[in-house]
């Protein structure tokens, strides 16, 4: 996994000074100089990772203040300079310094519209806002049915495609491609891989923790698209949780740290104590953690996870993050409190839309593995929808294509070069024998072929 655990090591002070000011060229020069010295091996590994981060992070923050203001005006009616300053200062609009100048994250405007209702009402793209409201209403109806009937099942048939973009084609060179596919999980059954184009070199077993279909092909202009068609049955059963029914004896699996992101740092330990206080019942402890994440941590699109040194602490300190960041904070706090917790991710795939998503599971005897979706729960809380907020603690909707059941797990066959996402796999990965490919080189699409209620 590219020695990612060494992200937990601090940078030397002089390197950190340059990084904080966004002097990335000077930072890289200093790192190269340090690497020529007789320094500890552990520090070398940390500095090697930092060089990879430098390659990525500038591309994550493309907009100067003036450019960001223009983007805001193009997407939000009557957007002003004063509003951008306010959104920067309150942490809604993510930014860093690059060579001492403020630059904004590429999805800053999406965060504003998604999380601030006063700006969503002024969004230029009314269709997108209306579609979001339709999906919200549709999902609420499904949740009501699940609670009334106790169960809900769907047959789902999807196709995922990855296309190598023009400027990344190396004619005649062998390319290696991973595309995520449904894996065995609590929700999914009757999984079928219907077709792959071209023929797959390898398809992981159903219980592989980051399951993919794998291709090896000599790429040409006419042979640069890879696809997999699959189907599955998704079933959820409603669980009504009662603290008084919780068993006295609880298991001790899935409670360990996993550096660099699931770590019981001094801050995480103190935060966990502050949240759970003297509570002994693990279900109530988990609920307190869920309530903290969903009410205190704002949704925010974030830069590539690889550029964040400790995801759980990032979320806990900055009180913001996307679905995966919130899920990792929930998992870390649960484990710190002695509650087994783990990762699930893949796609949110409903009759109305398909997109990447992450969430969590936690274990409480006698119920077994339960679900928690902090970002969906947080969205419900922001809208004042208490029933939906409560639902996503313990339960989940039936619209999840589960490809990944463990965070920071190796792909098989393993990649030679750094993964686009070293921790998770929702979009897919690709590389040549001589070089890796970043997300900008790939065009990933998904198509719903059939969605049927059972």
Contacting residues for 9 by C-beta, under 8 A, at least 6 apart = 42, 43, 45, 46
Read off the pLDDT of each residue in 286-297 and give the average, rounded to a whole number: 99
* Residue 2 confidence class, pLDDT cut points 50, 70, 90: low
Q: How far is CA 435 from the centre of its chain?
A: 25
* Residue 277 confidence class, pLDDT cut points 50, 70, 90: very high
pLDDT tens profile 56-87: 998 999 999 999 999 999 999 999 999 999 99
Query: Is 171 exposed, middle or buried, given 0-12, 13-18 or 19+ CB atoms closer than 10 A?
Result: exposed
DSSP 25-57: HHHHHHHHHHHTS---HHHHHHHHHHHHHHHHH
Specify the pLDDT at position 1: 54
**305-326: buried (b, 16+ CB within 10 Å) or exposed (e) per residue?**
bbbbbbbbbbbbeeebbbbbbb
What DSSP element (H or E) covers 330?
helix 323-336
Contact yes or no for 51/28 (Cβ under 8 A): yes
pLDDT tens profile 199-213: 999 999 999 999 999
What gap in Å lies between CA 294 and CA 319, rounded to an integer? 10
Q: Which of 266, 381, 254, 372 is nearest to 312 (CA)?
A: 266
Is the Cα dihedral 393, 394, 399, 405 positive or negative? positive
Is residue 112's pLDDT more than 70? yes
Q: Assess whether the previous peptide bond of 260 is cis (omega < 30° from 0).
A: yes
| 440 DSSP 8-state letter | G
pLDDT tens profile 229-268: 999 999 999 999 999 999 999 999 999 999 999 999 999 9
> What share of the chain has pLDDT > 90, as a percent?
97
Maximal CA-CA distance, the chain: 67
Contact yes or no for 112/77 (Cβ under 8 A): no
Specify the pLDDT at position 9: 96
pLDDT tens profile 121-167: 999 998 888 888 999 999 999 999 999 999 999 999 999 999 999 99
Is residue 186's pLDDT more than 90? yes
What DSSP element (H or E) covers 155?
strand 151-164
Is residue 422's pLDDT more than 90? yes
What gap in Å lies between CA 217 and CA 106, rounded to an integer? 33
What gap in Å lies between CA 450 and CA 105, rounded to an integer? 36
What gap in Å lies between CA 396 and CA 186, rounded to an integer? 11
Full strand arrangement of the beta sheet holding 429-432: 202-203, 212-218, 174-180, 429-432
Specify the pLDDT at position 3: 87
In sequence order, the β-bridge partners of residue 400 are: 348
Beta-sheet pairing, 429-432 with 188-197: unpaired
Read off the pLDDT of each residue in 283-310 and give the average, rounded to a whole number: 98
Query: 23 vs 26, 33, 58, 96, CA distance in Å?
Result: 6, 16, 10, 11
Compute how many other C-beta atoms are within 10 angstroms of the C-beta atom of residue 387: 11
pLDDT tens profile 4-34: 999 999 999 999 999 999 999 999 999 999 9
Contact yes or no for 302/321 (Cβ under 8 A): yes
pLDDT tens profile 318-361: 999 999 999 999 999 999 999 999 999 999 999 999 999 999 99
Whole-prediction pTM value?
0.97
* Residue 221 confidence class, pLDDT cut points 50, 70, 90: confident
pLDDT tens profile 380-400: 999 999 999 999 999 999 999
What are the chain's domains? 4-60 (no CATH), 63-122 (no CATH), 151-236+410-453 (2.60.40), 241-403 (3.10.620.30)
DSSP 184-242: --SSEEEEEEEEEES--SEE--TT-TB-EEEEEEE-BTTB-EEEEEEEEEEEEE-----
32: its two tokens: 């190269």
Q: How many residues comprise the chain?
A: 454
């Amino acid at each position: 996994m590219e020695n990612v655990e060494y992200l937990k090591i601090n940078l030397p002070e002089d390197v950190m000074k340059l990084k904080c000011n966004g002097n990335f060229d000077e930072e890289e020069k200093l790192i190269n100089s340090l690497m020529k010295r007789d320094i500890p091996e552990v520090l070398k590994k940390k500095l090697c990772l930092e060089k990879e981060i430098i390659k990525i992070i500038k591309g994550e923050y493309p907009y100067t203040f003036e450019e960001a203001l223009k983007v805001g005006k193009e997407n939000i009616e009557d957007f002003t300079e004063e509003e951008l300053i306010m959104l920067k200062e309150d942490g809604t609009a993510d930014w860093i310094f690059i060579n001492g100048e403020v630059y904004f994250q590429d999805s800053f405007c999406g965060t504003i519209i998604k999380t601030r209702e006063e700006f969503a009402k002024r969004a230029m793209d009314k269709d997108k806002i209306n579609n979001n409201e339709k999906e919200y209403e549709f999902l609420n109806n499904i949740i009501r049915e699940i609670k009334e009937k106790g169960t809900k099942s769907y047959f789902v048939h999807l196709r995922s495609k990855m296309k190598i973009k023009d400027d990344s084609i190396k004619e005649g060179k062998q390319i290696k491609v991973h595309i995520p596919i449904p894996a065995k999980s609590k929700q999914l059954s009757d999984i079928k891989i219907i077709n792959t184009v071209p023929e797959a070199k390898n398809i992981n077993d159903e219980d592989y923790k980051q399951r993919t279909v794998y291709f090896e092909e000599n790429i040409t202009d006419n042979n640069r698209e890879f696809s997999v068609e699959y189907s599955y049955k998704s079933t959820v059963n409603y669980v009504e949780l009662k603290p008084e029914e919780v068993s006295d004896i609880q298991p001790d699996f899935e409670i360990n740290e996993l550096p660099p992101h699931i770590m019981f740092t001094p801050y995480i330990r103190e935060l966990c104590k502050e949240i759970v206080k003297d509570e002994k019942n693990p279900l109530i402890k988990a609920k307190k953690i869920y309530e903290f994440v969903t009410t205190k941590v704002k949704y925010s699109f974030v830069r590539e996870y690889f550029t964040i040194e400790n995801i759980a602490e990032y979320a806990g300190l900055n009180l913001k993050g996307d679905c995966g960041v919130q899920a990792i904070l929930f998992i870390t706090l649960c484990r710190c409190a002695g509650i087994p917790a783990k990762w699930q991710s893949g796609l949110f795939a409903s009759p109305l839309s398909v997109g990447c998503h992450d969430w969590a599971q936690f274990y409480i005897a006698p119920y077994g593995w339960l679900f928690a979706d902090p970002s969906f729960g947080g969205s419900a809380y922001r809208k004042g929808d208490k029933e939906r907020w409560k639902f996503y603690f313990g339960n989940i909707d039936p619209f999840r294509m589960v490809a990944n059941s463990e965070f920071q797990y190796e792909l098989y066959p393993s990649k030679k070069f750094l993964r686009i996402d070293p921790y998770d796999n929702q979009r897919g990965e690709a590389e040549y024998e001589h070089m890796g490919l970043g997300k900008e080189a790939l065009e990933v699409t998904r198509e719903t072929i059939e969605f049927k209620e059972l």
